[in-house]
Amino acid sequence: MIKVCSLFSGSSGNCIFVSYKDTAILIDAGVSGRRIEAALANIGESFDKIAGIFITHEHSDHICGAGILSRRHNVPLYANSKTWAAMRPNLGKIKKEFVRYAELGESVTVGDITLKPFPIPHDAACPVGYNIFINDKKLTIATDIGHMDEELLSNMENSEMVLLESNHDVEMLKTGRYPWPLKQRIMGDKGHLCNNTAGEVVAHLAKCGTKKFLLGHLSKENNFPELAYQTVCNALIDIKINPEKDIYLEVALRDKASNIMYI
């Protein structure tokens, strides 16, 4: 049984737990090491089981706990070479044997889990999402997405579960207190995905057969969990998919672990 849990998700920090049999990994470590350790304990897991931390990109809300966790637990960090170059100054000293590479288009296997990074449009050195392959099942983690395109959509199709960004409500962002340059960045082609687009993507993937969804990386200032959830529900209802019966849909929260998803 595959076990998936979003420990933290949002602009203040991101960390996702995935396990199968005796192998477990984290996708990102964007809060303190102690908070991640405590979150794992709260879902009945120990960091001793973690075989690797896979980084999506170098922004602090994805890496701030990675260096200390690697040193404290002797755990390897995986990222592509451009991301390594961008994040290395902010990690502290990492043992050479724990510097691992997961380049675009190449698969990396850790225990019973295989990961393959794919490109996402975001304002970082070489940001990625991850396809995770376990037995004959595929899971997808995709956040920090400036815009959706056919290549990105194809990487998410045929997944059993997708964690997808639903960062902001466009009208809340436009009328909110952020300075205009920041608003432009968030709404730009390398910014973040809005609720409406997330709804369109979830509807498409659900129509193609994906049954489990987590909405992640919500903005604290420009979104509400209830709004993101309802926007996506409306998109599903429009294509005659019942979000309460036909699929599983949950919002991954900023400071609280999601329900554990079993696949």
Report pLDDT digits (tens) over 133-189.
999 999 999 999 999 999 999 999 999 999 999 999 999 999 999 999 999 999 999
Residue entry with tokens 């400071």: 255
User: pLDDT of the chain along its 263 residues, tens only?
Assistant: 999 999 999 989 999 999 999 999 999 999 999 999 999 999 999 999 999 999 999 999 999 999 999 999 999 999 999 999 999 999 999 999 999 999 999 999 999 999 999 999 999 999 999 999 999 999 999 999 999 999 999 999 999 999 999 999 999 999 999 999 999 999 999 999 999 999 999 999 999 999 999 999 999 999 999 999 999 999 999 999 999 999 999 999 999 999 999 99
**pLDDT score for 151:** 95
Structural domains for the chain: 1-105 (3.60.15.10), 145-252 (no CATH)
**pLDDT score for 164:** 98
CB 56 within 8 A of CB 27: yes
CB neighbours of 263 closer than 8 A, spacing ≥ 6? 1, 2, 3, 4, 137, 139, 160, 161, 212
Residue entry with tokens 């019973």: 112
Predicted TM-score (pTM) of this structure: 0.96
CB 31 within 8 A of CB 17: no
**pLDDT score for 207:** 97
Query: How high is the mean pLDDT of the chain?
Result: 97
208, containing H or E segment: helix 195-208
Structure tokens at 48: 């001793």
Structure tokens at 6: 């979003």
